């Protein structure tokens, strides 16, 4: 079953910059899919269409068969958990508990259920016991875990996450990869971290300048070094001074 369906989606920002151009793709239930591509490729813009933060009149986006439009937004946002690249964009409450409880409270869950959802979400991300800490005093890795917990507390069916391993040290990076590997959800990940993509994602979609350039098994796509180099994701084989991945 396709849980995400996008047909002929185009989107331009108010300044006229075309961020997405005739994008069509589908994601099946249980898949883990990477959106890869250079800066400005349209990856984050596409993610923001999956729960209606951005909407376009050009093309269609459906989540579990529901068109992403005003009357379905509450249901779609419950089922699609979006985690921003910068956790400070997601954490705004005085305590970790308050941040993780925000979603269940907005869903009008009873108090005991709110507490249970917070407890379970923090356990899932390995942050039990941090309920009364200020999220602003946590490390970057801890903030990222709490940001993920804020969406897990709403029991989403799809996790959409933007650059999860950015700004992490090697240990924190691999700990987060293992965390994501263990979540039993459909996962859509926008990233430059091709090593993480190899580990987590069976399928990868390469975007550049708003176009879908390639959509294939990760093993095949990441083996195509000329294709990756042409889109800024691998060394240019013709230049000895080009940096490595």
Domain 2-230 has CATH 3.40.50.150: no
Q: What is the pLDDT of residue 94?
A: 96
Query: How far apart are alpha carbons 66 and 73 in whole angstroms?
Result: 9
pTM of the complete model: 0.91
* Strand runs labelled E in 93-210: 158-162, 186-190, 203-208
What tokens appear for 235 in the block?
Answer: 């060394």
Q: What is the pLDDT of residue 243?
A: 38
Asked if 180 and 209 touch (Cβ cutoff 8 Å), the reply is no
Q: Is 108 exposed, middle or buried (0-12, 13-18, 19+ CB in 10 A)?
A: exposed
Q: Is 169 exposed, middle or buried (0-12, 13-18, 19+ CB in 10 A)?
A: exposed
Q: What is the pLDDT of residue 147?
A: 97
Q: What is the pLDDT of residue 236?
A: 55
Question: Residue ranges of the chain with pLDDT lower than 70?
Answer: 235-245
Show the 3-state SS of 131-151. CCCCHHHCCHHHHHHHHHHHH
Query: How far apart are alpha carbons 109 and 96 in whole angstroms?
Result: 18
Q: What is the pLDDT of residue 25?
A: 98
- Condensed to tens digits (0 to 9), the pLDDT of residues 195-245 reads 999 999 999 999 999 999 999 999 999 999 999 999 999 765 554 443 333
Q: What is the pLDDT of residue 16?
A: 87
């Amino acid at each position: 079953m396709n849980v995400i369906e996008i047909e002929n989606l185009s989107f331009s920002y108010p300044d006229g910059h075309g961020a997405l151009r005739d994008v069509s793709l589908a994601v099946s239930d249980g898949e883990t899919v990477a959106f890869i591509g250079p800066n400005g490729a349209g990856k984050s813009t596409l993610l923001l269409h999956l729960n209606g933060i951005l909407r376009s009149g050009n093309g269609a986006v459906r989540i579990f068969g529901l068109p992403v439009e005003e009357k379905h937004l509450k249901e779609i946002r419950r089922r699609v958990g979006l985690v921003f690249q910068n956790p400070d964009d997601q954490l705004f409450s005085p305590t970790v508990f308050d941040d993780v409880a925000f979603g269940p409270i907005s869903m009008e869950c009873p108090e005991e259920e709110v507490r249970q959802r917070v407890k379970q979400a923090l356990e899932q991300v390995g942050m039990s016991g941090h309920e009364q800490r200020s999220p602003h005093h946590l490390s970057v890795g801890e903030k990222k875990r709490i940001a993920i917990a804020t969406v897990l507390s709403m029991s989403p069916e799809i996790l959409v996450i933007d650059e999860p391993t950015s700004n992490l040290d090697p240990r924190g990076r691999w700990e987060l990869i293992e965390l994501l590997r263990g979540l039993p959800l459909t996962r859509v990940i926008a990233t430059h971290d091709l090593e993480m993509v190899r580990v987590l994602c069976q399928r990868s979609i390469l975007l550049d300048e708003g176009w879908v350039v390639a959509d294939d098994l990760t093993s095949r796509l990441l083996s195509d070094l000329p294709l990756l180099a042409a889109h800024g994701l691998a060394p240019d084989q013709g230049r000895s001074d080009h940096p490595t991945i």
